[in-house]
Amino acid sequence: MTYIADDIVCEAPPGRIEGADAYRAFMGPFVEILRGAEMIAAFGDDETALVMYDTATVPVASAPGAEFVTVEDGKIVRSRFVFDRTPFQAAR
Amino acid sequence: MTYIADDIVCEAPPGRIEGADAYRAFMGPFVEILRGAEMIAAFGDDETALVMYDTATVPVASAPGAEFVTVEDGKIVRSRFVFDRTPFQAAR
């Protein structure tokens, strides 16, 4: 959470997540099932970054995602997050 | 389909799509429900591009996606495509 701003706003597939506490609650369960990640592509400029990566998780072998983040004062203040929820729901 | 190579390989949420005909069959139904699109971020270099955009479709008001494409001789030969299938399945 070092690079997450206290007032982060994250637009993710389940909806809008506001604040570092809510972000931690959203990401925590994912981090627990994460086995590995591989960068597919990463670009950025002084204030923003756009990345795509593949993740390997316990329930889903390949779960790619993409994130567009905005950075202020060295912390992520905004994140737009895209991934397919379908295989995770199917694995439940 | 002007910029799609005949031998395009697209890795999309439903699986691997090989060839321009299969790509057309995959994208066709989406194009028919597409109402508009707005670029969220776009980066690239000489051979690749990484984009994130939001789309408005008939069944789903906001359906963001991300694509990482590789270009050869002016055509897309490879595409890695991420979007959330969940709202489309829910709208069926």
Cβ–Cβ gap A64/B86 under 8 Å: no
Tell me the mean pLDDT in the region B19-23.
Answer: 97
Residue type, A64: P
Q: How far apart are CA A50 and CA B3, in angstroms?
A: 23
> What pLDDT is recorded for position A26?
95
Cβ–Cβ gap A80/B64 under 8 Å: yes
Using 50, 70 and 90 to split pLDDT, how confident is the model at A1?
confident
Q: How far is the alpha carbon of B92 from chain A, nearest alpha carbon, in Å? A: 14
pTM for the structure as a whole = 0.95
Cβ–Cβ gap A52/B50 under 8 Å: yes
* H/E segment holding residue A1: none
Q: Comparing C-alpha atoms, which of B82, B25, B78, B10 is closest to residue A86? A: B82
> What pLDDT is recorded for position A66?
98
> What pLDDT is recorded for position B92?
83
Using 50, 70 and 90 to split pLDDT, how confident is the model at A51?
very high
> Which tens digit of pLDDT belongs to each residue from B51-74?
999 999 999 999 999 999 999 999
Query: Residues near B41 by Cβ (< 8 Å), separated by ≥ 6?
Result: A48, A50, A68, A80, B51, B52
> What pLDDT is recorded for position B42?
98
Strand partners, A15: A12
Q: Chain B partners of A83 at a C-beta cutoff of 8 Å?
A: 82, 84
Residue of B nearest to A84 (CA): B84
Q: How far is the alpha carbon of B81 from chain A, nearest alpha carbon, in Å? A: 9
Helices (H) and strands (E) in chain A, counts: 2, 6
Residue of A nearest to B89 (CA): A86
Strand partners, A37: A55
